[in-house]
Structure 1
Amino acid sequence: MLLERIYDEDLAQASYLIGCQANGEAIVVDARRDIEVYRKIAAANGMKIVAVTETHIHADYLSGTRELAAATGAKVYVSGEGGKDWQYGFAGERLLDGDTITLGNITVEAMHTPGHTPEHLSFLITDGAFSDQPGFMLSGDFVFSGDLGRPDLLDEAAGGVDTRFDGARDLFVSLQKKFLTLPDYVQVYPGHGAGSACGKALGAIPSTTVGYERSFAWWGVYLEADDEAGFVEALLDGQPDAHAYFGRMKRQNRQGPAVMGERAALAELATEDVAAALAADEIGIVDTRHHSQVHAGTVAGALNIPAGKRAASYGAWAVDPETDKRPLVLLAPDSESATEMWDHLVRVGIDAVAGYVRTLDGLPSYRPETLAPADLAGFDAALLLDVRSKSEHAAGHIPGSVQLNAGRVLWHADSLPADGVIVSYCQTGARNSVAASALRRAGHRVVELEGSYAGWNSWNGRNTQNP
């Protein structure tokens, strides 16, 4: 049996390719939309992807299940659990608790494990060439290394009202009647790692075991004592901010994400053509450089979405493709870099990318406004905006600031002043630059605090010690 974990550092998301080496058939679970990685792994191992499935209707990324099926001819399987309100809107065989998929010597058994979402499935994997009992579990957003999937995203991102309590109770039952009935030796492969907003304390370890979680996970004491009320309270306390784009992901993943098909290489565009399109407000520019370079000069109206391991996350904070249909032009040093950036963006449904430019020369220039910490006290701001998380703000913030996570600012315009200047900050500047550029594009005047909270804290400490 082949079991390959494909991990996306950007979204802290894991997908899996499981293949039978005897007959060359493989299944992919929880695929992302840039699918070439799965095709390469299958080809390198002489396998054909014949099935694709997913653990649940995802909120943090756009599923690649339909994309991969269209490219390979694989059969689609999705959950049929959760009741009528949680049925998928696209074709695929529905899996119920106990249903199986067979690939040569391998059996994939669906286990209904509600709590994170009502329809959630985990998958038990049996390598029939070795044993007649499951040895592996793909737990999706049910059990993580050291934590559990949060049960409040339906409230936070899908318009639910107080569903978190039923979800938390469902998780308690799923642990009690499903997870803890498995042998200790079963290896558990979760759908996310540290950094994901799908839980509050996910471990960075790529896998765990039933026995390890049973013995050491925080929730074990509540299960051992059969303390459902204590479990619910502990689980719901301190969950991180849910990003606003999660609602879009939920809707699109349930309906069925658009199939892109083979994407042609991005074309390098002439700056004079880009300048004309900008003047006509037909496109948007994405400046993919570090925020320190952006602050030295960028393009008027440009979004700062730094290239690298957080490009999808930052892109989803700054672009709402449901309301802004203008295609994007990327600033990138070469075609390979531009394509890699595009791969990250399509993971969150930002598909409309018209091409790239290597330079901003010849485009309308702009230098983002910044403010030194020493000048903050005397500055006439309509709002001092802290775009960090709730927990960061609670741990220490600039007096008078209002917290609104960078992943939510575009979707909470009613919380922002219609007139006047917004002074914004994060911890060191990267998230703030993303949020500030998005707000500027939406028409707000935003001044970024130099060095953000870390810079202010350092200045304030020196100023306090040496009045």
Structure 2
Amino acid sequence: MFFKSFTDENLAQNAYLIGCQRTGESIIIDAPREFDHILRAAEKEGLRVTAAADTHIHADYVSGARQLAVQHGVKLYLSDEGDENWKYTYTDGIAVEFVTEGSKFSIGNIDFEVWHTPGHTPESISFLLTDRGGGATDPMGIFTGDFVFVGDVGRPDLLEKAAGIGGTADSGARDMYKSVQRFKELPDHLVVWPGHGAGSACGKSLGAVPISTVGYEKKFNWALQITDEETFITELLKDQPEAPVYFAEMKKQNKVGPAILRDEKVRVLTSSEELAKMAAEDGVFVLDTRPATIADKGLLKGSINIPFNKSFANWAGWLVRYDEKLVVIAEENEQEDVQKALQSIGFDAIIAFADPALLKGLETESYDTLSVQNFVEEMKDEDAFVIDVRNDGEWNDGHLEEAHHNFLGKLRTTELPEDKTLLVHCQSGARSAIASSVLKARGFNNVKHMAGGYSAYTATYSKK
């Protein structure tokens, strides 16, 4: 058996390639939208990708399953669990086998058994793998998707918080409790291959280690220690991170079928005049991907700066709207990767790229970066309005008495005073820089943020 995992660090998302070397067949579990690197890895090993399987209708990224089926003719194995709201509707004309609890299928001499493991979502399934070609008669591991992570389990509240489906958080938590009890009956030696690692918003305390075992999770995963159902439900629903607003759109796209990507090149602007003209068009959103330390003194008027790093896709999902046409400011050597990151969460309407050099001569604006001491001094001004853009957990752990809590992800629509100096901070300074660009794009004139954030503040003033 051939086995290789692939992690998209922007989304903390894991995909798996499993191949039978005797027959040359292979399958991708939870394929990302950009999967060419996985196909190359299979080809290098003399394998053909003949199948793909999703553990559930994903909410945090666009699945590559439909693209694989349409573009490469692979057969799909998709869940048929859940009610009519949780059925895939894009499968006409492609090879698909709908699976439920107890279903079995094989890729060459590798067997897969389906477990229905609801909780994160009603249709969620897991796959037990048995390497029959290697002489095994019992499973060696389980692909858990967003059911069991290293150190955590999938959150059940996304449908309610992101998609607005009332009452599903409690019912999902009860389903998760039952699924966890069943998981605890598995043999300790089974390997656990989760769908995500640390950095994903699909749980609250995911570990950074990429794999685990059933036995290890039984011993150390907090969710597997609780034996009382009501206590489990309370703890599972408590302190979950904010549910990104784009998750509802991802659920929709992965249910009805993501658009098929074509090999079409995005237009690259060649002049400042082109950039200014396009930026002024109705429905156009200008996204600046430069580092904040460069962008802060030269933002194109109306643009928002989300630096291209591991957090880029997450904040783009929060702050960009799906009905907007995107003009993206990015260095030439990063444009392809930026496009893939945006497409991974369904932002396909990229109409142009612009090199940062084209900003020269155009109307730009800036915000100020203050030291901790200067930030504290400016808070004393009666015209100051202090904004803390951190998440709920960080705010609850401690905050400035003068601060107003306005989470970054919702800052494009938050009501704020127009006649104040806006003093913005986060934990380290990275999110407050994004927030400052959002506020400038909204037309607030006097915006300043604190270098080093609340961490620098506490480090400075705890010593005094």
TM-score, length basis structure 1:
0.90
RMSD: 2.2
CA gap 1:358/1:424 in 2 versus in 1, 3 angstroms: closer
Amino acid at match of 1:295: D
Partner of 1:239: 240
8 Å Cα contact 2:110/2:132 also seen in 1:
yes
8 Å Cα contact 2:423/2:450 also seen in 1:
no
1:217 has 2:221 as partner: yes
Q: 1:113 is matched with which residue: 109, 117, 133? A: 117
Q: 1:387 is matched with which residue: 389, 397, 400? A: 389
Q: 2:345 is matched with which residue: 300, 324, 348? A: 348
**3-state SS of 1:137 partner:** strand
Q: Which moved more, 1:214-223 or 1:260-269?
A: 260-269
What is the CA–CA distance in structure 1 between the aligned matches of 2:60 and 2:419, rounded to whole Å? Answer: 33
Q: 2:108 is matched with which residue: 96, 104, 121? A: 104
**Structure 1 residue 29, shift from structure 2 partner:** 1.5
8 Å Cα contact 1:59/1:250 also seen in 2:
yes
Partner of 1:141: 146
Amino acid at match of 1:291: A
Amino acid at match of 1:74: V
Partner of 1:71: 71
**3-state SS of 2:401 partner:** coil
**Structure 1 residue 317, shift from structure 2 partner:** 2.3
**3-state SS of 2:133 partner:** coil
What is the CA–CA distance in structure 2 between the aligned matches of 1:83 and 1:308, rounded to whole Å? Answer: 38
Q: 1:189 is matched with which residue: 186, 193, 206? A: 193
8 Å Cα contact 1:71/1:261 also seen in 2:
no
Deviations 1:43-91 (A, max 9, x none): 2112111112211112222222212322211122221101122112211
**3-state SS of 1:431 partner:** helix
1:402 has 2:404 as partner: yes
Gaps of 5+ in 2: none
CA gap 1:407/1:65 in 2 versus in 1, 3 angstroms: farther
Partner of 1:161: 166
Q: Which moved more, 1:391-400 or 1:112-121?
A: 391-400
What is the CA–CA distance in structure 1 between the aligned matches of 2:322 and 2:440, rounded to whole Å? Answer: 17
Q: Which runs of 4+ in 1 moved over 6 A?
A: none
CA gap 1:212/1:459 in 2 versus in 1, 3 angstroms: closer
Partner of 2:88: 88
**3-state SS of 1:235 partner:** helix
8 Å Cα contact 1:245/1:407 also seen in 2:
no
8 Å Cα contact 1:420/1:445 also seen in 2:
no
Superposed, 1:197-208 pairs within 5 Å as 197-208=201-212
What is the CA–CA distance in structure 1 between the aligned matches of 2:410 and 2:47, rounded to whole Å? Answer: 42
8 Å Cα contact 1:109/1:125 also seen in 2:
yes
**3-state SS of 2:408 partner:** coil
8 Å Cα contact 1:272/1:362 also seen in 2:
no
Superposed, 1:420-459 pairs within 5 Å as 420-421=419-420, 422-444=422-444, 447-451=447-451, 452-457=453-458
**Structure 1 residue 10, shift from structure 2 partner:** 1.2
8 Å Cα contact 2:88/2:255 also seen in 1:
yes
Partner of 1:30: 30
**Structure 1 residue 460, shift from structure 2 partner:** 4.9
CA gap 1:150/1:416 in 2 versus in 1, 3 angstroms: same
What is the CA–CA distance in structure 1 between the aligned matches of 2:103 and 2:171, rounded to whole Å? Answer: 25
**Structure 1 residue 173, shift from structure 2 partner:** 0.8
Partner of 1:377: 380
Amino acid at match of 1:254: K
**3-state SS of 2:409 partner:** coil
Superposed, 1:187-336 pairs within 5 Å as 187-223=191-227, 227-264=228-265, 267=268, 269-280=270-281, 283-322=284-323, 324=324, 326-332=325-331, 334=332, 336=333
TM-score, length basis structure 2:
0.91
Partner of 1:364: 363
Count of residue correspondences: 451
Gaps of 5+ in 1: none
What is the CA–CA distance in structure 2 between the aligned matches of 1:71 and 1:40, rounded to whole Å? Answer: 15
Partner of 1:124: 128
